[in-house]
Amino acid sequence: MSRINFTSHEAHGPSMLLVRDDAVLPPALSTEGQSSFLPGWRAIKNFDEYTLRRKIRETSWSFLHLRANKETGVKMGRARHIILQEAVAQILGEFRGRKFNAVEVSVLISKRFLGVNFLKISVSLRHFQYNAPIAR
C-alpha cells in the first residue's frame, strides 16, 4: 500500500476522496493510476470538491452527500499513514451493507508528541450517480 500524506496540523484540514475500485464514475473522474489506499478503495489525488462539482455539473451525473457521517476518537501510533488507514477501515466496517461508492475523509486533528502521532478523522459517505437526461 502506498503512503498518503496529509500535511494539515490544524482542525478541518484537507480532504481525501476514496472511491471503490468497482465504482462507475463520471468521465471527468478517472481512478486509473491512482494509489490504492485500502483493499477495494483508491485514493483520488489532489481532491478539490469545488472543481469536481463544476466538472460533474457539466455532465449528467450527481455527486451526492449521504446523511451518514462518523468521527473517530483520537487514534495514536508511530506511522501516520497506518493510523489513517486503520481508522478509515474501522469506520468503513461500521457502514458495511450501505450503498455508497465514495468516501470523503477529513483530518480534524493531527498532532505529534514525543514521536507519537495523534489523529482524529471524520468520514462522510458520498455517492456518484448517473442521472438520465429528462426529455423536454
Q: Is the pLDDT of residue 125 over 80?
A: yes
What per-residue confidence (pLDDT) applies to 52? 81
Higher pLDDT, 119 or 30: 119
* 14, 17, 29, 52 from 49: Cα distances, Å: 10, 9, 12, 5
Domain residues for the domain of 92 are: 15-130
What per-residue confidence (pLDDT) applies to 48? 77
Taking only the tens place, the pLDDT of each residue in 8-51 is 444 445 688 899 988 888 877 766 657 788 898 988 866 777 88
The total of structural domains in the chain comes to: 1
In a domain, 119, yes or no: yes
Residues 17, 103 contacting (CB under 8 angstroms): yes
In a domain, 7, yes or no: no
In a domain, 106, yes or no: yes
Q: Residue 132 — very low, low, confident or very high, per pLDDT cuts 50/70/90? A: low
* 11, 14, 41, 76, 122 from 68: Cα distances, Å: 20, 19, 18, 24, 11
In a domain, 10, yes or no: no
H/E run at residue 106: strand 102-113
In a domain, 113, yes or no: yes
* Residue 55 dihedral angles phi and psi, to the nearest 5°: -65, -40
In a domain, 6, yes or no: no
Q: Is the pLDDT of residue 136 over 70?
A: no
Where does residue 103 rank: exposed (0-12), middle (13-18), buried (19+ CB within 10 A)? buried
Average pLDDT value for residue range 87-94: 90
In a domain, 67, yes or no: yes
Q: Is the pLDDT of residue 118 over 80?
A: yes
In a domain, 50, yes or no: yes
Average pLDDT value for residue range 79-85: 89
Q: Residue 103 — very low, low, confident or very high, per pLDDT cuts 50/70/90? A: very high
